Structure 1
Amino acid sequence: MSITETDAAGQPPDGDDPLLPKHRADLEKSGLLPPVLDEHGVYSTVDSDVVAGLLGLERRDTRLAPALVLPYLNADGSPSDFHRLKPDTPRRGEKNRTVKYEAPRGRGNRAYFTRVGLAAVDSPGAALLFAEGEKKALAAAQAGYPAIGYAGAQSWKEPGSEDLIEDLRGIDFAGRTVHLVPDSDYATNPRVTEGTARFGAALKAAGADVRLVALPAGRKGAKQGLDDFLVANGEEAFADLLDAAEPPHPVGAAMRRAAGLVTPEEAADLVVSAHTEDGLPLLRYWHGAWYLWDKTRYRQLDGDEVEAVVMKALKPHLDGLTVRRKGDVLMHLRTKTRLGTHVRPGDWLVTPPVDWDPEDLFAADNGILNMVAYAEGRECFIPHTPARFTLASSPVPFEPAAARPDRFLRFINGELFPGRPNEVRLLRQITGYLLTPDTSHQVIPLLNGAPRGGKGVLLRVFTMLLGEDAVISQDLESLSGPFGLEPLLGKSLMAVGEVQPPNSKAIRAKPVERLLTISGEDSVAVNRKGRTAVNTRLRIKIVLAGNGRPAFPNNSGALAHRLLPIRFLKSFAHKKDPKLDRKLAAELSGILLWAVRGWIDLRENGGFAETAETKRERGRLALLGNPLRHFLNECCVVKPGAVVPKETLRERYRDWCQTNSVHALDAVSFSKELLETETEIDTGQNRIKPGEKLTETFRGVCLLSP
């Protein structure tokens, strides 16, 4: 839903449609048309008090509205006071599982009678069809089948017994053919397998001829229900499944099998099914590491955790796996959960919602924000979902009405950049740019200037906004090592807290090459200790910070053009606020909103609002990166046949260095770098004037007039 004051106030939707547009669209995806929805009274509510009343809550829970409401009928066809609800923002229940549907508290289970199903109930001996879920029952009824819905694998029975619920006990099953249509995970989820088998046994005991309709898995092995199958394959294909239906497996046939009778692949299937939500696997294997969905993100597991996850999933079903068989299970599990090397953090693992480009998304603490949709006033916020390969989420909730971050704004405007609104705007755009996976601007922000000038505070703010799991802090030299890129996998920000000044030897060519490759969105081979190298495009941004101006050795000057410098002019060495981080942490929701608006400004501006100071500073950095190239451009002409005495050129070079505050190379280094910088220049001996003795010269270059 769009986050607006109207929605937050719980106002009902405009017009006479009983369904919100989002709910109508969701039901249409299940193939459900207005006639069957109207016939069964399906509607939407945005009122938390209505939700509380329907669910029998003592107090309202604003998180459960808006919701889709599915009214139940009594066995005589009259409306009941029992409803099940599907909230837009589902809560988390036991074991952090999403509670997709809500039922009235303390009321037990009910059967979901469709009108066509009730007509068959009133006709002795008529066939019946039980579908797992209300939408599936409606889809079957819409296709003309005498459908009754049951809410889940255990919802057909009274708690603590094998007795059918009261709604079903009133049906005469003698002589009826009853088709059970569970979701496709019947084949892989032992809990569904067992529950369906027990349901079939109870119906058989009541006199029914029970047949199981085995729905196949959906695309790429995804779980699908009867509604999905009808939409994808049509009624004729479903009729073929009905004809092929057989009695369900005996009770317990799929449960507690000896380890020797279960193949490692079957055991791997059990592990996958134990970690599946809404048909989506929650366990993933990517770039040689295991990841498990953890409410808001996929968390990387270490070796011991992986084994614990496997054994916990298998414990209810298997007796005693040997170490060798555990290894076999893991081998099959890797195959079943492996993500391709083309998948990058933030990508969708299934078909995404319309206009939800992964490059535009920010994973906040309370859900996923579509920045473009927010900027355009459209539906912009959805719950976290394992359908997106999120490796890190912010600990900061997105709150459209967050309080103004007064201490942070005073720090930025009044302390860091007093009288420099253009720098504040640029910083805001940079902060917004860090929020999403988009790296298309190909810039490297550089925070440099006065020591103790607030640069470290800003890096910590960036980390607090993105979350510690999203940020890697290291120095540039670490990029030179054979495994220097490995820590960057899965991260969204590399923060370099202290770039070395010009006279340091720490910045060598290899780190510069890596900075250019990463910021340029090029593919790079990432070597990993003890594992196969991967070739990938790292979806990571880099922010540099330092006191002095760094001198990056780069003859082409390409890196200087990527830098986006902001100068810090004031030092707070003697005015440090030791509680500043804590004060800013209390304003993070407001700072996040400030950054989001910076991203909107960046988008509307079509690029970063570079200041005149930014452009001058970039020129200075380019000069430091290759001063000899700048000397040649300003003072010389490369010209075939030209000759200049070595000492004359060196003297002019020394004067230029003094004027530009650049360290001058000695004679040997000057000659060596000159020939490397400009290949058209060579050395030799020439007579500058006829009759003079030979002089050491540079050939192919001459000096411009001063």
Structure 2
Amino acid sequence: MTLTALVMDYDHLTAEQTGFVFDQSAPWASVAYSSFSHDPSLPNGWSFRLMLFLDRPIAAAEHAGLWRVVNERLGGVADKQANDVGRVWFKPSCRYDTPDEARLFLVHQGEALNVNELLAEAGATSGARFAAVQAPVALCRVAALPKPIAEGGRNSTLTRLGGALRRQGLDEGALATALLDENARRCEPPLPDEEVVGIARSLARYEPEHPLLRINCTDWGNAERLVHTHGDNLRYLSPQGRWLRWEGGRWRTVDQSALLPMALRAIRDTHAAARDLPNPEHRDRLVRHALQSESAARLRAMTQLSASLLPIDADQLDRDPMRLTVENGTLDLRSGALNEHSRGDFITRKLGVVYDKAATCPRWEAFLGRAFGGDAALMQFVQRAVGYTLTGETTEQALLVLKGAGANGKSTFLSVLRSLLGEYALAADFASFLAGPTSIRNDLARLSGARLVSASEPERGRPLAESLVKQLTGEDPVTARFLFGEFFEFVPNFKLWLCVNRLPQITSDDAALWRRLRVVPFDHVVPEDERDPHLLAKLRDELPGILAWAVRGCLDWQRHGLGQPRAVAEATLAWREGADTVTAFVGEVCETRPDVRIDSGALYAAYLRWCEGCAETPLGASAFGMRLSGLGFQRVKGAQGRRRWSGVNLAERSEVAEDELVAKEEPVAEVAEVAEVAEVARGTSWGARALGIVPLTEPRSPDPEWGDEAEYETEARYDSDEHDDELSLDLSRPLERPGASL
């Protein structure tokens, strides 16, 4: 939902208050029209709506903050019960007996409201925000005075007005501004400016009324007290229902229960301030309200209502991908400069490391030198990759895979990297990136905002979820949601680092996928007698130096890009060649000529046997067929609709021999296919084991080119060019055990 206008509802204003609202809103494009209770003949009879047009659409979450700032600018007298998002349009109306000349309809040809400027004001500290508007707001609230101020009553009237303003907290400068304006507009004739400034100076000697005492004694008033006391340090992220609290140099997610002590403190501050009031009636009323507000229900209401007063949109968080919060400031990764922490950066994570540009890490550099066999180009690549990981940029679209046998340092490397990134790092289950059933991706939702996501040791035999990997290493939004939560979008700004002993399976030759993959080889195995069980702790002691090393790597990445040294290119190419089991099978077992053909079942059965002999995980039948098609082989139909592959055959077999294979061997292959279907249908594996075939780990997908799903669910049929006999298996009946005749 987006809004293009802001509606302010005003009821029972004086003519002076109405004039103030119109004066302040005059620069803005707006329409004002009377509401039903409008009757300007009454002292407080002005009731109208003011529709203000915006320079850009706003999200629902931005409405409350924008409404609050505009209301402050216009005197703070709009109806706070009518500030919900749904009130975006009201029909103009008046009582039937209201004279035509009393009906109100005004159009201001001004500029649209600058939404970003006003929201920035909403996000400013409370003191700065109220200082900018306190004089006109306070003046409007006490402006129900006779229009002219005649000679003889000018000083006393301005003193009375100034006293009311001082009680509301205006300082000397704001008092002088308000009284000089009032003097020029209403005093006849105006007093000398020096006299008016003297009134302001005299009034400023008095202590103002405590701000918590000027707020209504209601649940909404309590919410305003919480905002006044702690609003600089709280924001509410409405789409995800999360509270953020400024803590330790970043905006940290907290539960709503964490706000209860803050709410209680605001109430007790109100209680303490009320005890000093000279007016006993006023004092007793506020003390009674404060005591009642300490109940659990009132405190919960206080925190719940304050959410709408402190909104922030997800787009405002972590906006700068090149800024990084550390213990002693915020790093600008563009230059390596360290700045002070700032609430306005709206950064939500932090490294738990102090940044020292001059810090060193000799043990870390020695560790890398040994792990990579002194390969300087590979070490520089890793330094750039770690520096790139510090940022929220994903322009390289790279997935880094640390590969090697055990005891080679890759797990230690990744543990140090996670310690370095602190709150920016998340450890994920490797299964999140493997092919499998799709469901609510709670595991993906938690990755939003991270810059390092790491996972170790995939389950053997399961391929990578290739489309997901491409999505997570790209620059397009990802849709996810927390369990029982609303869907939301986020743009991944994390880098994926995977740690494996055995590279995961990839079933396609998609260039868009392979260009993302970078294999970092850890080939050096540390002898057992040279292993240091305390190495990880020693490396963590060098984290300040490792951070300085990583920042230098980030600057180098910005100059030269990530690149790809020879060791990484060769390791990645070897993975690509080894991952393509179908190409390897065709190269080792088959002959390829335009004039040869082979039955599809026979070829797939041979592939399964080959995978078993090579200890490779086979592709499913559908993926196998898709890969053969990708290699340029074509599916054809032989006699009686038999399915064949054209252009490929098992080696050293002529087409005549292939026909003999159909007669003698293909029934076995077809039975293997039938057993596979039966295994999927019944959860048994005896049929495939009896035939010496490795059972598939996924069900056969029906091939739309050869029939529909029902063909596979109910009947497997074998037809031969050489034989009229038909071998069929009806899966609606239980299969007989091994040894029984088919």
* Bin for the TM-score computed over the shorter chain: 0.5 to 0.7
TM-score, normalised on structure 1?
Answer: 0.56
Other-structure match for 1:400: 357
Contact map agreement 1:189 1:270 (CA 8 A) in 2: no
SS of the residue 1:439 aligns to: coil
Following the alignment from structure 1 to structure 2, what is the Cα–Cα distance between the partners of residues 593 and 359?
A: 18
Q: Which moved more, 1:314-323 or 1:630-639?
A: 630-639
User: 1:466 deviation in Å?
Assistant: 1.4
Question: Which of 444, 452, 469 is 1:485 aligned to?
Answer: 444
Other-structure match for 1:107: none
Following the alignment from structure 2 to structure 1, what is the Cα–Cα distance between the partners of residues 450 and 392?
A: 10
Contact map agreement 2:480 2:487 (CA 8 A) in 1: yes
Other-structure match for 1:441: 396
Following the alignment from structure 1 to structure 2, what is the Cα–Cα distance between the partners of residues 325 and 373?
A: 49
* CA-based RMSD: 4.9
Contact map agreement 1:369 1:381 (CA 8 A) in 2: yes
Other-structure match for 2:385: 430
Question: Would you tell me which structure has more helix in proportion to its own residues?
Answer: 2
Contact map agreement 1:213 1:242 (CA 8 A) in 2: no
Following the alignment from structure 1 to structure 2, what is the Cα–Cα distance between the partners of residues 431 and 590?
A: 13
Other-structure match for 1:698: 644
Determine whether 1:295 maps to 2:241.
no
Question: Which of 412, 425, 437 is 1:457 aligned to?
Answer: 412
Cα deviation, 1:229-278, whole Å, max 9, x if unaligned, reads 9xxxxx999975886899899954744589xx53433322222222245x
Matches within 5 A, 1:600-615: 600-605=555-560, 607-615=561-569
Following the alignment from structure 2 to structure 1, what is the Cα–Cα distance between the partners of residues 525 and 135?
A: 66
Matches within 5 A, 1:343-382: 343-344=316-317, 346-347=318-319, 358-374=320-336, 380-382=337-339
Following the alignment from structure 2 to structure 1, what is the Cα–Cα distance between the partners of residues 590 and 254?
A: 60
Aligned in 2, Cα 1:452/1:671: closer, same or farther, shift over 3 Å?
closer
SS of the residue 2:638 aligns to: strand
Contact map agreement 2:249 2:341 (CA 8 A) in 1: yes
Other-structure match for 1:70: none
Matches within 5 A, 1:43-192: 183-184=131-132
Following the alignment from structure 1 to structure 2, what is the Cα–Cα distance between the partners of residues 373 and 310?
A: 41
Other-structure match for 1:417: 372
Following the alignment from structure 1 to structure 2, what is the Cα–Cα distance between the partners of residues 263 and 460?
A: 52
Determine whether 1:645 maps to 2:595.
no
Following the alignment from structure 1 to structure 2, what is the Cα–Cα distance between the partners of residues 487 and 667?
A: 32
SS of the residue 1:392 aligns to: coil
Following the alignment from structure 1 to structure 2, what is the Cα–Cα distance between the partners of residues 609 and 308?
A: 52
User: 1:359 deviation in Å?
Assistant: 2.1
Question: Which of 437, 451, 472 is 1:518 aligned to?
Answer: 472
Other-structure match for 1:319: 291
Aligned in 2, Cα 1:188/1:237: closer, same or farther, shift over 3 Å?
closer
SS of the residue 2:343 aligns to: coil
SS of the residue 1:542 aligns to: strand
Question: Which of 540, 544, 551 is 1:585 aligned to?
Answer: 540
Aligned in 2, Cα 1:675/1:446: closer, same or farther, shift over 3 Å?
closer
Aligned in 2, Cα 1:705/1:643: closer, same or farther, shift over 3 Å?
closer
Question: Which of 306, 309, 312 is 1:336 aligned to?
Answer: 309
Other-structure match for 1:618: 572
Aligned in 2, Cα 1:581/1:257: closer, same or farther, shift over 3 Å?
same
Following the alignment from structure 1 to structure 2, what is the Cα–Cα distance between the partners of residues 412 and 593?
A: 16
User: 1:470 deviation in Å?
Assistant: 1.9
Aligned in 2, Cα 1:252/1:673: closer, same or farther, shift over 3 Å?
same
Following the alignment from structure 1 to structure 2, what is the Cα–Cα distance between the partners of residues 567 and 314?
A: 61
Contact map agreement 1:453 1:572 (CA 8 A) in 2: yes
Following the alignment from structure 2 to structure 1, what is the Cα–Cα distance between the partners of residues 335 and 161?
A: 50
SS of the residue 2:468 aligns to: helix
Other-structure match for 1:539: 493
Following the alignment from structure 1 to structure 2, what is the Cα–Cα distance between the partners of residues 386 and 462?
A: 27
SS of the residue 1:532 aligns to: coil
Aligned pair count reads: 463
Cα deviation, 1:455-507, whole Å, max 9, x if unaligned, reads 1211122122211x22211212146652221221332221102234xxx2444
SS of the residue 2:569 aligns to: helix
The one-letter code sitting in structure 2 at the alignment partner of 1:367 is G
Following the alignment from structure 1 to structure 2, what is the Cα–Cα distance between the partners of residues 465 and 238?
A: 58
Cα deviation, 1:510-530, whole Å, max 9, x if unaligned, reads xx4332211112212212123
The one-letter code sitting in structure 2 at the alignment partner of 1:523 is P
Aligned in 2, Cα 1:241/1:334: closer, same or farther, shift over 3 Å?
farther
SS of the residue 1:309 aligns to: helix
The one-letter code sitting in structure 2 at the alignment partner of 1:411 is F
Pick the structure with greater CA Rg: 2
Following the alignment from structure 1 to structure 2, what is the Cα–Cα distance between the partners of residues 409 and 624?
A: 32
The one-letter code sitting in structure 1 at the alignment partner of 2:349 is A
User: 1:621 deviation in Å?
Assistant: 2.8
SS of the residue 2:574 aligns to: helix
Contact map agreement 2:585 2:607 (CA 8 A) in 1: no
Contact map agreement 2:394 2:494 (CA 8 A) in 1: yes
Determine whether 1:572 maps to 2:526.
yes
Contact map agreement 1:188 1:273 (CA 8 A) in 2: no
Question: Which of 471, 477, 488 is 2:425 aligned to?
Answer: 471
User: 1:569 deviation in Å?
Assistant: 0.7
Contact map agreement 1:283 1:291 (CA 8 A) in 2: yes
SS of the residue 2:373 aligns to: coil
Aligned in 2, Cα 1:506/1:657: closer, same or farther, shift over 3 Å?
closer
Contact map agreement 1:557 1:622 (CA 8 A) in 2: no
Q: Runs of 5+ in structure 2 lacking a partner?
A: 1-125, 139-154, 186-195, 271-289, 653-742
Aligned in 2, Cα 1:630/1:284: closer, same or farther, shift over 3 Å?
farther
Aligned in 2, Cα 1:587/1:685: closer, same or farther, shift over 3 Å?
same
Cα deviation, 1:202-241, whole Å, max 9, x if unaligned, reads xx99x977737989xxxxxxxx9999x9xxxxx9999758
Following the alignment from structure 2 to structure 1, what is the Cα–Cα distance between the partners of residues 315 and 350?
A: 21
The one-letter code sitting in structure 2 at the alignment partner of 1:386 is R
Q: Which moved more, 1:456-465 or 1:627-636?
A: 627-636
The one-letter code sitting in structure 2 at the alignment partner of 1:313 is A
User: 1:638 deviation in Å?
Assistant: 11
Q: Runs of 5+ in structure 1 lacking a partner?
A: 1-151, 154-180, 191-203, 216-223, 230-234, 348-357, 375-379, 687-693
Other-structure match for 2:342: 385
Following the alignment from structure 2 to structure 1, what is the Cα–Cα distance between the partners of residues 179 and 383?
A: 56
The one-letter code sitting in structure 2 at the alignment partner of 1:285 is L
Cα deviation, 1:122-142, whole Å, max 9, x if unaligned, reads xxxxxxxxxxxxxxxxxxxxx
User: 1:697 deviation in Å?
Assistant: 5.7
TM-score, normalised on structure 2?
Answer: 0.53
Other-structure match for 1:140: none
Following the alignment from structure 2 to structure 1, what is the Cα–Cα distance between the partners of residues 583 and 183?
A: 79
The one-letter code sitting in structure 2 at the alignment partner of 1:337 is L
User: 1:343 deviation in Å?
Assistant: 3.5
The one-letter code sitting in structure 2 at the alignment partner of 1:698 is R
The one-letter code sitting in structure 1 at the alignment partner of 2:409 is G
User: 1:657 deviation in Å?
Assistant: 7.1
Aligned in 2, Cα 1:388/1:681: closer, same or farther, shift over 3 Å?
same
Aligned in 2, Cα 1:255/1:384: closer, same or farther, shift over 3 Å?
closer
Other-structure match for 1:596: 551
Aligned in 2, Cα 1:576/1:677: closer, same or farther, shift over 3 Å?
same
Contact map agreement 2:582 2:624 (CA 8 A) in 1: no
Aligned in 2, Cα 1:505/1:648: closer, same or farther, shift over 3 Å?
closer
Contact map agreement 1:367 1:382 (CA 8 A) in 2: yes
Cα deviation, 1:559-609, whole Å, max 9, x if unaligned, reads 33211110001223613212212222222221111111111221111x213
SS of the residue 2:499 aligns to: strand
The one-letter code sitting in structure 1 at the alignment partner of 2:644 is F
Aligned in 2, Cα 1:313/1:700: closer, same or farther, shift over 3 Å?
farther
